[in-house]
Structure 1
Amino acid sequence: MIKVLNVAEKPSVAKSVATILSRNQLRVREGRSRYNKIFEFNYSINGQQCHMLVTSVTGHLMEVDFEDRFRKWHSCDPADLYTAPVRKHVPEDKLDIKRTLEEEARKCHWLVLWLDCDREGENIAFEMMEVCKGVNRNLTIRRARFSALIEGSFLRPSLFLLRDELVSS
């Protein structure tokens, strides 16, 4: 059975996706972050039996900041900031979400991203892919396409999974 980690942009979307796809036949467990639960149920995608795990982030998982030596107001000439190196990292308040994603991604075959189809959603998608692929390089990544979180808008699985398709506009 294929294990599928589904990750939504926010907890309310994860709950709606899980409730609709499972027809409210799901199990709920706690993740490391008390706000980001994990919903579990069995599902069929194109005739393939899957064990679905649905969880979420809370917007961006990572932030970009200057290296420490450039972070204090009087540490450098402000003009130096135009060429100063930056680092991308998971802030302290999102580490529990990152750990949940890592733990679940290790055990899964697929990663399905349930994000808005815009530039912000795409940026968040790359953050999730970086974290999950960091612990499981063999993950197959898919992007869910949906227009509304109502039953019928994405129930046919062959229509809602896009292969490595990311927003280009």
Structure 2
Amino acid sequence: MIKVLNVAEKPSVAKSVATILSRNQLRVREGRSRYNKIFEFNYSINGQQCHMLVTSVTGHLMEVDFEDRFRKWHSCDPADLYTAPVRKHVPEDKLDIKRTLEEEARKCHWLVLWLDCDREGENIAFEVMEVCKGVNRNLTIRRARFSALIEGSFLRPSLFLLRDELVSS
């Protein structure tokens, strides 16, 4: 059976997706973050039986900062900031979410992204992919397309899963 990790942009979306797809026949367990539950249920995608795990992030998972020597107001010439190196990292308050994603991604075959199809959603999608692919390079990545979180708007899996289709604008 294929294991599918579904990641939504926020906890309320994860709960709605799981409730609708499972027809409210799901199991809920705690993730490492008390706000980001994991919903589990069995599902069929194009005739393939899947074990679905649905969880969420809470907006952006990562931050971009200057290196420490450039972070204080008077530590450098402001013009140096245009060429100063930056680092992308998961801040302390998001580490539990990152650890949950890593633990679940290790056990899964697919990653399905339930994020907004705009620039911000795409940025978050790449952050989630980076974390999940960091522990499981073999993940097949799919994008869920939906316009509303109401039953019937995305129940046909062939309509809601797109292959590696990310917004590039």
**TMscore range, shorter length:** over 0.9
Quick one: distance in 2 between partners of 1:66 and 1:13? Answer: 32
Quick one: distance in 1 between partners of 2:168 and 2:58? Answer: 23
Quick one: distance in 2 between partners of 1:73 and 1:119? Answer: 30
| Aligned residue number for residue 21 of structure 1 | 21
Deviation by residue 1:80-137 (Cα, 9 ceiling, x = unmatched): 0011000000000000000000000000000000000100000000000000000000
- How far apart are 1:168 and its partner, in Å? 2.5
Quick one: distance in 2 between partners of 1:25 and 1:99? Answer: 26
Stretch deviating more after TM superposition (66-75 or 53-62): 66-75
Quick one: distance in 1 between partners of 2:140 and 2:147? Answer: 23
Secondary structure (helix, strand or coil) at the match of 1:17 reads helix
- How far apart are 1:26 and its partner, in Å? 0.2
Deviation by residue 1:29-60 (Cα, 9 ceiling, x = unmatched): 00000000000000000000000000000000
Secondary structure (helix, strand or coil) at the match of 1:148 reads coil
> Structure 2: where are the runs of 5+ without partners?
none
- How far apart are 1:74 and its partner, in Å? 1.1
Q: Normalised by the size of structure 2, how large is the TM-score?
A: 0.99
Deviation by residue 1:53-87 (Cα, 9 ceiling, x = unmatched): 00000000000000011001111011100110000
Secondary structure (helix, strand or coil) at the match of 2:36 reads coil
| Aligned residue number for residue 53 of structure 1 | 53
Deviation by residue 1:11-42 (Cα, 9 ceiling, x = unmatched): 00000000000000000000000000000000
Quick one: distance in 1 between partners of 2:157 and 2:127? Answer: 24
Quick one: distance in 1 between partners of 2:45 and 2:73? Answer: 53
Quick one: distance in 2 between partners of 1:167 and 1:78? Answer: 33
Q: Normalised by the size of structure 1, how large is the TM-score?
A: 0.99
Secondary structure (helix, strand or coil) at the match of 1:129 reads helix
Q: Flag as ranges the 4+ runs of structure 1 deviating above 6 A.
A: none
- The root-mean-square deviation of aligned C-alpha atoms, in Å, is 0.4
Quick one: distance in 1 between partners of 2:168 and 2:160? Answer: 18
> Structure 1: where are the runs of 5+ without partners?
none
Quick one: distance in 1 between partners of 2:168 and 2:68? Answer: 33
Deviation by residue 1:121-169 (Cα, 9 ceiling, x = unmatched): 0000000000000000000000000000000000000110000000133
Quick one: distance in 2 between partners of 1:121 and 1:63? Answer: 15
